[in-house]
């Protein structure tokens, strides 16, 4: 594997992507690239009425993240390491679940044009967790519009993520089962993830899986 200059973290809602991204950015003295869901004006309405607002929500996210990734592409990744709390394919994963067949076909035609123009990470970290754990974490963080997210929606999202990353081969991939972890309160959990990252870099492998159980 080449030097890790760009790491992206992905996973379902509430799994801890941003928390891990911030810890790794501090660890590696890297620039932090965060998605900005709060800037999507359609998101609160989407959670209340998914069918009505899905297409507007997904297109806004796609274009917003494309602009952010385009700016990243213009920067010198060899000058400063980057840590992101999403990959561009996140839009495609969510759109696949949320859009009708006709909407998704239109969405995908736009997405396929944009995806070829953005940089690919040197490593993607996929975080997994159980539906129950995700629901608890979503409730704990208390974002008002997220109270409308159903357990069924989270379960479907987890299944889509698992399917996507099971066949993922665009970049090296580190999969972390963090159902029983707390990287904020338990530093050993964070160290296990960091160990997995360094293991991939040292051994130049394409895929690695880390299962962490808090004691």
Instruction: Please determine, for residue 214, whether its predicted confidence score (pLDDT) is greater than 80.
Output: no
Instruction: Please determine, for residue 184, whether its predicted confidence score (pLDDT) is greater than 80.
Output: no
Domain that holds residue 208: 6-213
pLDDT of residue 147: 79
| 1 in a structural domain | no
In DSSP terms, 174 is beta-bridged to 125, 208
| 138 in a structural domain | yes
pLDDT of residue 181: 80
| 64 in a structural domain | yes
| 31 in a structural domain | yes
Percent of the chain with pLDDT over 70: 92
- Domain count across the chain: 1
Selection from 97, 94, 40 nearest residue 63 by Cα: 40
pLDDT of residue 205: 66
Instruction: Please determine, for residue 213, whether its predicted confidence score (pLDDT) is greater than 70.
Output: no
| 159 in a structural domain | yes
DSSP the chain: -----EEEEE-STTSSHHHHHHHHHHHHT-EEE---GGG-TTHHHHHH-HHHHHHHHHHHHHHHHHHHHHHHHTS-TTTS-EEES--THHHHHHHHHHS-HHHHHHHHHHHHHHHTTSPPPSEEEEEE--HHHHHHHHHHHT-GGGGG--HHHHHHHHHHHHHHHHT--SS-EEEEEEEE--TTT-HHHHHHHHHHHHHHHHHT-SEEEEEEE--
pLDDT of residue 54: 93
Q: What is the pLDDT of the chain when averaged over all its residues?
A: 87
pLDDT tens sequence across 37-47: 889 999 989 98
| 167 in a structural domain | yes
pLDDT tens sequence across 136-166: 888 888 777 787 888 898 999 999 999 999 9
Backbone φ and ψ of 173, nearest 5°: -135, 130
| 112 in a structural domain | yes
What CATH number does the domain containing 36 carry? 3.40.50.300
| 93 in a structural domain | yes
Radius of gyration over every alpha carbon of the chain, rounded to an integer in angstroms: 17
pTM for the model stands at 0.89
Catalytic hit among 85, 91, 115, 189 = 85
Residues 6+ apart with CB under 8 A from 134: 12, 13, 14, 15, 154, 158
Report yes or no: 24 and 7 within 8 Å, Cβ to Cβ.
yes
pLDDT of residue 11: 94
From CA 122, how far away is CA 171, in angstroms rounded?
6
Active site residue 85: yes
């Amino acid at each position: 594997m080449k030097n890790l200059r760009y790491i992206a973290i992905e996973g379902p809602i509430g799994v801890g992507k941003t928390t891990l991204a911030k810890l790794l950015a501090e660890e590696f003295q890297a620039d932090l690239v965060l998605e900005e869901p709060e800037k999507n004006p359609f998101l609160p309405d989407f959670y209340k009425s998914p069918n009505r607002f899905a297409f507007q929500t997904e297109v806004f996210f796609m274009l917003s993240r494309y602009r952010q990734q385009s700016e990243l592409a213009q920067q010198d990744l060899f000058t400063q390491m980057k840590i992101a709390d999403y990959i561009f394919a996140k839009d495609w994963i969510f759109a696949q679940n949320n859009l009708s067949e006709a909407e998704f076909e239109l969405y995908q035609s736009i997405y396929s044009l944009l995806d070829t123009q953005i940089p690919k990470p040197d490593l993607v970290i996929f975080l997994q967790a159980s539906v129950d754990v995700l629901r608890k974490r979503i409730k704990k963080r208390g974002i008002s519009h997220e109270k409308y997210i159903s357990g069924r929606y989270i379960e479907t999202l987890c299944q889509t993520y698992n399917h996507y990353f099971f066949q993922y081969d665009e970049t090296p991939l580190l999969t972390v089962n963090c159902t029983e972890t707390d990287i904020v309160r338990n530093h050993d959990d964070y160290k296990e993830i960091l160990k997995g990252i360094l293991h991939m870099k040292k051994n130049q492998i394409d895929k690695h899986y880390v299962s962490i159980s808090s004691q």
